[in-house]
Amino acid sequence: MQDFFNEAKGARAARVLVDGLSDMLLDYVVPEGLEVQRGWRVEIPLRNRKTTGTVVRLVEQSEQLRHRMKPILRALEEVPVVSSVLMDLAEWAAAYYAVPVEQMVRCIVPEPVRSERHEEKTRKVVCLVKRPSDDELNKISRRAPRQASVLRYLMAGDEGKEPLSDIGGTSALAACRALEKRQLVSIGEEAVHRDPTSKEQFAPTSPLPLNPEQEHALQVILEARKARDTRPILLQGVTGSGKTEVYLQAAAHVMEQGEGVLILVPEISLTPQTVARFKSRFAQHPGAVAILHSALSDGERYDEWHAIHRGQARIAIGPRSALFAPVRNLGLIIVDEEHDSSYKQESAPRYHGRDLAVLRARMEGASIILGSATPSLESLHNVSTGKYNLVRMEKRADGQRLPLTRVLDMRTEAKDKRYMGVLSERLRVAIEDRLEKKEQVILLLNRRGFARALQCPDCGYVVTCEHCALPLTYHLTENRLVCHICGYRSVAPCTCPECGSKAILLEGCGTQKVEQILMRCFPRARIQRVDADVTTRKNALRDILESFRTHRIDILLGTQMISKGLDFPRVTLVGVLNADLGLNVPDPRAAERTFQLLTQVAGRAGRGEVDGEVIIQTYSPQAAAIQFARRHDTDGFVENELGLREQFAFPPFTHMAVLTVRSTQEDMASFAAETLHKRLLSVLPAEVEISDPIPAPIAKAYGQFRFQCVLKAPRARTISDIVSAEIKRLAPGEDITVTLDVDAYNFM
Ligand code: ADP
Ligand code: ZN
Ligand code: ZN
């Protein structure tokens, strides 16, 4: 790491991130004799009261200034809340993603830990001090039956200790107090751990005997661990190849060595099975596995976080933000479904969880596994340059064959007289057949493409940019097609340039409408829709998945949500209703995402005894992403796609960033974007490309007009350093927000 990570020598002032909602940074004097370091929690005076904060860095201050500063009152914990490695990570990420370091520190120390309100919860417990003799007990039960029943209750348990709430709560308190006087019991306080999974049962499981591919993968991981090798291992295993079993056994080994394990999963609510498998495997070590995510109550988060920090929980599992979990003596990081887009945070700080996990592993000397059936092109590229080590698993552990995949050309299917809209006759017949056999069906509706691309429903032609080979986006207001990557504009054609059809505007179709159509087609089937509307209720998704598993639902209809690591043995048919919608978005990763989605969803079919079938409906049957997915040919897709990316200088061959200017005033947003663009043109080195500012594909959101420029450079830091300096120099006014998204995954 660079010099600025080292603490300033002899510095006597500390810059403190004050707890509370704003990013307030204040300098305080470190009094003689007080030891404080980066990452420590301190008590500080603020106006006329005391408050708390986290030391972000130690600074050298002039005597003059020091006189005006107040002193730190005391350090709060002996063990710093943020380790020096995590502080280094925060500083690195702040520079890379062009955000103030305090934003990163906020991610590392979650809100419930920062605020004092959620301190440990305690409860009253009653302990049996002395067992009364039978005589004594009889005497008590004659005069004070309530006291006797408390004693009997305590004597019946194996511990002689019960929470007051179980004995009868406050109504039993008087009896307990009387018993305390008799010195038969004692009443004390005990910390309660607010366990987010306390209501669930996890039956212990034992390690499965590994097949040769799994065994090899495990050996590579354990050897890396032994050698303290931090080079990431990309575990590319087809869906069902048993990656989770490899993770479990690797984690167990690392834990036996006294080291901690960090597991990142896409989104906890979508991957309940992975969490349950870890909880079950380590069920004989209660409290060993802690779960971190935002859907927990503040109290649960506080307790889980502290259990990890204290070293009680050796395994932490959670989504992207869990990468900052204070796991002690970290030996192994596992990033499951490493290609998943949820690892990228879409609000400030816009960091990538997988990328920071790789960095953290290197800083901590931990080993790291990135697992996926469809790895990101970034990771595969890192394999080809030798940065990552590749391990493959090509056979399904459950002995199943990959499902048969058929592609239906909707340009002809939609002409069938029986076409109901959305559902082709062939897919309808296939669903009917499964329902008759009492098997289950998953239907996927790809909703990602809500920017309007022009596609011809008759021939499938999509109007694309000649410089980027990506779909142009239709802007109604000016009747123009615009490329959102390079800024190229053209007039929207009235007829299809390919076949001359006049029906060229694509119309979208929501999950609700599809649900209605399904209910008409299959009146007796139990149909459940899963989309953002349905799943706003807490645990809704979990309950739906549980009903589906227990076959109280026949057809599950949903968006990409349902494509993740789910394992339902009775699903024998997966239908993808509109495979192309995700292709027609102005995004260099559109094909990659579509391929991953189709492959992942196909992996849901045929996990049990019966072979699975996948039916893909599309207007672009010739698209590479669809054809390679149909053949389960990941290597072919990757080779083809990497070739294109290199040709158009897209990631992973370059870094791309999106600069967005927002304002409630359209002209102000546009003017600020123009000004910034002009200045950047004059200061950016030649190797950085910048597009002209244009309205974003989503030109207005939350009442703000949005203008954007896309930047491309060989090194991300070149963009971050120069652009963030120019944003500061511009000093945008009140009603203008400027954001920079480095290594952007969202170009809307
Ligand atoms: P992946 O995560 O690679 O998609 P899973 O870990 O979900 O695959 O494994 C698929 C299925 O195979 C699961 O039901 C799992 O219990 C089973 N399985 C995994 N490893 C083995 C093994 N060595 N022997 C038998 N079954 C296994
Ligand atoms: Zn056409
Ligand atoms: Zn272009």
- Predicted local distance difference test score (pLDDT) of residue 116: 57
- Predicted local distance difference test score (pLDDT) of residue 447: 60
Percentage of the residues of the chain whose pLDDT score is greater than 70: 89
Whole-number Å distance, alpha carbon 237 to ligand 1 midpoint, is 11
Whole-number Å distance, alpha carbon 502 to ligand 2 midpoint, is 8
Per residue in 436-464, pLDDT (tens digit) is 999 999 998 876 544 467 777 778 788 88
Residue for token digits 């993740």?
564
- Predicted local distance difference test score (pLDDT) of residue 475: 67
Q: How confident is the model at residue 427 (pLDDT cuts 50, 70, 90)?
A: very high
- Predicted local distance difference test score (pLDDT) of residue 525: 94
Taking the CA of residue 239 as reference, the ligand 1 atom at the shortest distance is: 4
Determine contact, residues 596/563, Cβ cutoff 8 Å.
Answer: no
Predicted confidence (pLDDT) at residue 659 exceeds the cutoff of 70:
yes
Per residue in 107-147, pLDDT (tens digit) is 888 777 776 555 666 778 888 888 888 888 888 888 888 88
Q: Can you name the residues that pair with 658 across neighbouring β-strands?
A: 710, 741
Helices (H), 235-352: 243-256, 272-281, 298-310
Residue 100, classified by CB atoms within 10 Å of its CB into exposed (0-12), middle (13-18) or buried (19+), is middle
Predicted confidence (pLDDT) at residue 80 exceeds the cutoff of 80:
no
Average pLDDT over residues 236-256: 94
Look up the CATH number of domain 13-109. Answer: 3.40.1440.60
The residues whose Cβ lies within 5 A of ligand 2, an ion, are 456, 458-459, 461, 496, 498-499, 501
Residue 55 half-sphere exposure toward CB, CA atoms < 13 A = 32
Q: Which ligand is nearest to the CA of 496?
A: 2
Q: Order of strands, edge to edge, in the sheet holding 49-59?
A: 25-29, 13-18, 49-59, 41-46, 74-75
Q: How confident is the model at residue 684 (pLDDT cuts 50, 70, 90)?
A: very high
Residue 275, classified by CB atoms within 10 Å of its CB into exposed (0-12), middle (13-18) or buried (19+), is buried
Q: Whose CA is nearest to atom 5 of ligand 1?
A: 242
Per residue in 137-170, pLDDT (tens digit) is 888 888 888 888 888 888 887 777 787 777 777 7
Whole-number Å distance, alpha carbon 702 to ligand 1 midpoint, is 44
Q: Which ligand is nearest to the CA of 242?
A: 1
Instruction: Report how far residue 428's alpha carbon sits from residue 578's, in angstroms, rounded to the nearest whole number.
Output: 14
Per-domain residue ranges for the chain?
A: 13-109, 121-192, 212-393, 404-448+510-645, 655-742
Average pLDDT over residues 248-259: 96
Determine contact, residues 93/356, Cβ cutoff 8 Å.
Answer: yes
Q: Which ligand is nearest to the CA of 371?
A: 1
Residue 400 half-sphere exposure toward CB, CA atoms < 13 A = 24
Whole-number Å distance, alpha carbon 605 to ligand 2 midpoint, is 33
| Residues lining ligand 1, Cβ inside 6 A | 208-211, 214, 237, 239-245, 397-398, 567
Same fold yes or no, 404-448+510-645 and 655-742: no
Whose CA is closest to 680, among 703, 701, 654, 661? 661
Predicted confidence (pLDDT) at residue 305 exceeds the cutoff of 50:
yes
Taking the CA of residue 210 as reference, the ligand 1 atom at the shortest distance is: 23
Taking the CA of residue 209 as reference, the ligand 1 atom at the shortest distance is: 23
Q: How confident is the model at residue 565 (pLDDT cuts 50, 70, 90)?
A: low
Average pLDDT over residues 491-505: 78
Q: Whose CA is nearest to atom 9 of ligand 1?
A: 242
Q: Which ligand is nearest to the CA of 502?
A: 2
Whole-number Å distance, alpha carbon 699 to ligand 2 midpoint, is 27
Predicted confidence (pLDDT) at residue 241 exceeds the cutoff of 50:
yes
DSSP state of 551: T
Residue 612 tokens read as 């699975």
- Predicted local distance difference test score (pLDDT) of residue 536: 67
More confident site: 88 or 561:
88
Residue 237 tokens read as 């295993």
Q: Which CATH superfamily is domain 404-448+510-645 in?
A: P-loop containing nucleotide triphosphate hydrolases (3.40.50.300)
Look up the CATH number of domain 212-393. Answer: 3.40.50.300
Determine contact, residues 232/388, Cβ cutoff 8 Å.
Answer: yes
Whole-number Å distance, alpha carbon 240 to ligand 1 midpoint, is 6
- Taking CA atoms, 534 is separated from 530, 537, 557, 622, in Å, by 6, 7, 11, 34
Q: Whose CA is nearest to atom 10 of ligand 1?
A: 240
Taking the CA of residue 238 as reference, the ligand 1 atom at the shortest distance is: 3
Instruction: Report how far residue 90's alpha carbon sits from residue 96's, in angstroms, rounded to the nearest whole number.
Output: 10
Instruction: Report how far residue 131's alpha carbon sits from residue 51's, in angstroms, rounded to the nearest whole number.
Output: 48
Q: Whose CA is nearest to atom 23 of ligand 1?
A: 210
Count Cβ neighbours within 10 Å for each residue of 718-747 and write b for 16 or more, e otherwise.
bbbebbbebbeebebeeebebbbbbbbbeb
Helix/strand/coil for 125:
strand
Whole-number Å distance, alpha carbon 15 to ligand 1 midpoint, is 50
Amino acid sitting at position 315:
I
Residue for token digits 């991130």?
17
Backbone φ and ψ of 204, nearest 5°: -60, 145
- Predicted local distance difference test score (pLDDT) of residue 627: 93
Q: Which CATH superfamily is domain 655-742 in?
A: Ribosomal protein S10 (3.30.70.600)
Query: C-alpha angle with apex 190: 185 to 194, nearest 5 degrees?
Result: 140
Q: How confident is the model at residue 235 (pLDDT cuts 50, 70, 90)?
A: very high
Whole-number Å distance, alpha carbon 468 to ligand 3 midpoint, is 4
Helix axes 353-364, 84-96, angle to 10 degrees: 140
Taking the CA of residue 567 as reference, the ligand 1 atom at the shortest distance is: 7
What rounded mean pLDDT belongs to the chain? 85
Per residue in 4-19, pLDDT (tens digit) is 334 444 457 888 888 8
Residue 518, classified by CB atoms within 10 Å of its CB into exposed (0-12), middle (13-18) or buried (19+), is buried
Whole-number Å distance, alpha carbon 242 to ligand 1 midpoint, is 4
Residue for token digits 């204290």?
310
Count Cβ neighbours within 10 Å for each residue of 605-619 and write b for 16 or more, e otherwise.
bbbbebebbbbbbbb
- Predicted local distance difference test score (pLDDT) of residue 174: 84
Instruction: Report how far residue 315's alpha carbon sits from residue 330's, in angstroms, rounded to the nearest whole number.
Output: 9
Predicted confidence (pLDDT) at residue 397 exceeds the cutoff of 50:
yes
Whole-number Å distance, alpha carbon 336 to ligand 1 midpoint, is 14
- Predicted local distance difference test score (pLDDT) of residue 453: 73
Q: Which ligand is nearest to the CA of 497?
A: 2
Taking the CA of residue 211 as reference, the ligand 1 atom at the shortest distance is: 23
Residue 649 tokens read as 């200088």
Whole-number Å distance, alpha carbon 485 to ligand 3 midpoint, is 5
What one-character-per-residue DSSP string does 446-478 give?
Answer: -----S-BBB-TTT--B-B-TTT-SBPEEETTT
Whose CA is closest to 217, among 240, 234, 230? 234
Q: Which ligand is nearest to the CA of 460?
A: 2
Per residue in 475-497, pLDDT (tens digit) is 655 667 878 777 788 887 878 88
Residue 476 tokens read as 């109604």
Helix axes 272-281, 243-256, angle to 10 degrees: 40
Whole-number Å distance, alpha carbon 251 to ligand 1 midpoint, is 16
Residue 207 half-sphere exposure toward CB, CA atoms < 13 A = 14
Maximum pairwise Cα distance, the chain = 102
The residue to mutate among 244, 275, 280, 336, having the most atoms of ligand 1 within 8 angstroms of its beta carbon, is 244
Taking the CA of residue 393 as reference, the ligand 1 atom at the shortest distance is: 3
Instruction: Report how far residue 554's alpha carbon sits from residue 547's, in angstroms, rounded to the nearest whole number.
Output: 10
Q: Which ligand is nearest to the CA of 471?
A: 3
The residue to mutate among 398, 604, 634, having the most atoms of ligand 1 within 8 angstroms of its beta carbon, is 398
Region of 422 (left: φ > 0; alpha: ψ -120 to 50; beta: rest) is left
The residue to mutate among 236, 245, 336, having the most atoms of ligand 1 within 8 angstroms of its beta carbon, is 245
Taking the CA of residue 241 as reference, the ligand 1 atom at the shortest distance is: 3
Beta strand spans in 561-672 (E): 571-576, 613-618, 655-663
Per residue in 21-53, pLDDT (tens digit) is 666 788 898 888 888 888 888 889 988 888 888
Q: pTM of the predicted model, to two decimals?
A: 0.82
Taking the CA of residue 237 as reference, the ligand 1 atom at the shortest distance is: 3
Q: Which ligand is nearest to the CA of 457?
A: 2
Q: Whose CA is nearest to atom 19 of ligand 1?
A: 242
Predicted confidence (pLDDT) at residue 379 exceeds the cutoff of 70:
yes
Whole-number Å distance, alpha carbon 399 to ligand 1 midpoint, is 9
Residue 80 tokens read as 């710093």
Q: How confident is the model at residue 507 (pLDDT cuts 50, 70, 90)?
A: very low
Region of 513 (left: φ > 0; alpha: ψ -120 to 50; beta: rest) is alpha
Whole-number Å distance, alpha carbon 199 to ligand 1 midpoint, is 26
- Predicted local distance difference test score (pLDDT) of residue 5: 38
Whole-number Å distance, alpha carbon 499 to ligand 2 midpoint, is 4
Instruction: Report how far residue 457's alpha carbon sits from residue 462's, in angstroms, rounded to the nearest whole number.
Output: 10
Residue 375 tokens read as 């790895």
